[in-house]
Amino acid sequence: MSGILLAIIAAIAWGSIVLVSNKLGGDANSQTIGTTFGALIFAAGVYIFTTPHMSALVWSVGIISGIFWTIGQKNQYGTVKFLGVAKTVPMSTGLQLIGTTIFGALLFHEWKTKTQVIVGILALACIIAGAALTSFGQKTEEKDGGKDLKKGLMILLVSTVGYVVYVVIVKWFNINGWSAILPQAIGMVLSGIVLTIRHHPFNKFAARNLLTGLIWATGNLTLLLSLPSIGVATSFSLSQTGIVISTLGGIFLLGEKTSKKQVISVIIGCLLIIAGGVMVGLTKK
């Protein structure tokens, strides 16, 4: 039960990131800087108290992983400007699940039986359908011929590449999660500075978004702690349910303009993405 509770905490933390950062204010650059420095503060504390095994490989892979995470997170923040929180997070989650699932099947050979292949394909179908439903009606709201939608989707694709590489590279080199936390955070901060420095991101909004980084790091740690007791399949699936928080929060807390039909479409899309995530988890058992 404690493992499930930890995974749910991870879902709440990650599902709240974009919502909280949007509420705290600032542009994608100051939000990125605040988040990465918050994560570094948290990672340094964890390192001091756990002193995990480190090596040159752990440091290099961890830093590279953190760089790609920053690419993913900065561009997710940037997508919100064009699509809003309620559409960005479900679509981002869906694309991440598709990317990691495909890599898992093709690169890590996680689908070894006919049942796994069937369930995996059905899962991808659910995720794709869910992501499509969350973007329902967006184009009809645009006054510029759908340019915001196109820009948002292009930025979201870059974000997805960053997130997927961030996960895959750690798994590819079989780096322990506890060991990766600090190098990842260092990579996040360094790349965050490089990507945002020309936009003068160090301001009051960056300071506010230290909280966002602490929330993200809390989710990362609780997910790691849940793995030994409930396994990767269950914990990974539960961590995806956080999209409900950001999606409904974007609609009802941030007051994003959405019609009743769109609300229904987004909620159904979220449920399909969650169902797909659970099915992906089942293929990994």
The pLDDT of residue 14 is: 87
The pLDDT of residue 99 is: 87
Averaged over 53-75, what is the pLDDT? 95
Taking alpha carbons only, the member of 131, 130, 129, 167 closest to residue 152 is 131
Q: What are phi and psi of 25, to 5 degrees?
A: 95, 180
- Distant-in-sequence, close-in-space partners of 34: CB < 8 Å, separation ≥ 6: 21, 24, 26, 205, 206, 207, 208, 209, 210, 211, 212, 213
Query: Which percentage of the chain shows pLDDT scores above 70?
Result: 91
Express each pLDDT in 235-285 by its tens digit: 666 777 788 888 788 887 877 777 888 888 888 988 898 888 788 777 766
Give the residue, 124 or 223, on which the prediction is more confident.
124
Q: H-type helices in the chain, by residue range?
A: 2-24, 28-50, 56-83, 85-106, 114-134, 138-141, 147-172, 177-196, 204-208, 210-239, 243-252, 260-283
How high does pLDDT run on average in the chain?
86
The pLDDT of residue 145 is: 53
Separation between Cα atoms, residue 223 and residue 177, nearest integer Å: 10
The pLDDT of residue 43 is: 95
Confidence of residue 58 (pLDDT cuts 50, 70, 90): very high
Averaged over 34-43, what is the pLDDT? 96
Averaged over 5-24, what is the pLDDT? 88
Query: Which percentage of the chain shows pLDDT scores above 90?
Result: 40
Express each pLDDT in 175-187 by its tens digit: 888 898 999 999 9
The pLDDT of residue 75 is: 95
Confidence of residue 167 (pLDDT cuts 50, 70, 90): confident
The pLDDT of residue 231 is: 59
Based on its alpha-carbon atoms, the radius of gyration of the chain, rounded to whole angstroms, reads 18
- Location of structure tokens 């699932």: 101
Express each pLDDT in 216-230 by its tens digit: 999 888 877 786 676
Confidence of residue 118 (pLDDT cuts 50, 70, 90): very high
On the question of pLDDT at 139 being above 70, the answer is no
Domain boundaries, the chain: 2-283
Measured in whole angstroms, the distance separating CA 281 from the mean position of its chain's CA atoms is: 17
Which token pair is 22? 């949007």
C-beta of residue 256 within 8 angstroms of C-beta of residue 53: no
The pLDDT of residue 140 is: 45
Q: Which of 21-35, 88-102, 108-122, 146-160 has the highest mean pLDDT?
A: 21-35
C-beta of residue 236 within 8 angstroms of C-beta of residue 30: no
Helix (H, G, I), strand (E, B) or coil at 52: coil
- Distant-in-sequence, close-in-space partners of 177: CB < 8 Å, separation ≥ 6: 170, 224, 227
Separation between Cα atoms, residue 254 and residue 25, nearest integer Å: 12
